Amino acid sequence: MQALHTLHLLNRDLDVRLSHAARTALAARRTPLVVEMELYFSCLIRKRVQFLSAPHPGAFCVSLDEQLTVCFRPVMTRHCAVSEVEGQPELETFPIQRPEAFLPKWLALDFRRGTWSGEYSF
């Protein structure tokens, strides 16, 4: 059964769904988990969830509690190269005028076989 929490980020509500395994893994952690919802603008749009040791300085973040911080970071590249989509292009924070308009509605987190996974949607 998933636990549902609602966070207030960028003046909007974000529903965070945690699986039972995710709640158990969070409780066992000695350090907070930082989850970043990255929205990548280039020749196409890519979205991904990253698990970091610390928030990126350009991200919009809010903490659920002392164990979980959720961040939203719109990013872009200076040049468009489709070959970079699968690789690690050099990213910079996207100077978006209204980031709240792009904030996802929900984030779901799970922990299986020792690995965090997540997805989000609008």
Residue 61 sits in which domain range? 3-121
Burial class of 13 by CB neighbour count within 10 A (0 to 12, 13 to 18, 19+): exposed
14 within 8 A of 105, measured Cβ to Cβ: yes
Q: How many CB atoms lie within 10 A of CB 116?
A: 17
Where residue 56 sits, what CATH number does that domain have?
2.60.300
Q: Which of 28-32, 48-52, 99-103 has the lowest mean pLDDT?
A: 99-103
pLDDT at 82: 58
Give 55-108 pLDDT, tens digit per residue.
Answer: 999 899 999 998 999 999 998 876 666 555 555 667 767 678 888 888 999 999
pLDDT at 95: 73
Cα dihedral: 86, 89, 93, 94 (round 10): -70
97: CB partners within 8 A, 6+ apart? none
Average pLDDT over residues 47-54: 94
For the chain, what is the domain count?
1
Give 9-25 pLDDT, tens digit per residue.
Answer: 999 999 999 999 999 99
